[in-house]
Amino acid sequence: MDRGLSVYISASAEMDAECEFIGQTLASVSTTSRATIRRTPEGSNPDLEGLASSQIYIILLGTDLLAPIGVEWEAARQAGLATLGFRNAEAAPSPAMTDFLRRQRFEWHEYRTPAEFRRKLERTLLQRLLDETPGTGLDLTAVEQIAVRLKELEGEEAEDEGPAEERRGAGSGGIILPRP
């Protein structure tokens, strides 16, 4: 039996909208496989067990680098997890964030608007899921759905920024169950 996909997200509270979109993206392609999303626990120690059991690590950077994001980053790097990093280029970085970005040798996906984040996240995350297969725990149907969606995205042109995202509570983590 497939264990399913497990994604760990390091993000501060200011990144809730971005976290929700990650959940929505995974739910749209994971209709036949289980997906678990874990997120930086607010005001507590990092969930290093949850991080270690994940196949994909996503770090979202806004204005500041809050604890325990730095610890999670180091743990993911040491574990060799497939890592995606997104940075809001419109957010004025704190001194801690500036120092963190300067010290890391990592290709950050920068975005300026929610629409740009959605486009970059969906393409990057779906491609990474395909690249990491079979280790992601997704079944063949989910992999085929991802491949179809990536082909659709190739044909789409960049959109203008649309209306604000409707939040539906998917940003704090959870489990996405396959549809019956």
Give the β-pairing of 174-176 and 35-39: antiparallel
Give the β-pairing of 56-61 and 109-111: unpaired
Give yes or no for residue 56 having a pLDDT over 90. yes
Please tell me the total count of domains within the chain.
1
- Is the model's pTM score more than 0.75? yes
CB distance 82 to 132 below 8 Å: yes
Report which residue type is found at 177.
Answer: L
- Which residues form the domain of 75? 5-176
178 pLDDT band (50/70/90 cuts)? confident
pLDDT in tens, 58-73: 999 999 988 899 999 9
Cα 53 to chain centroid, rounded: 15
DSSP class of 1? -
**Taking the alpha carbons of 67, 58, 3, 180 in that order, is the dihedral positive or negative?**
positive
Q: Work out the widest C-alpha separation in the chain, in whole angstroms.
A: 49
CATH number, domain of 114, equals 3.40.50.10140
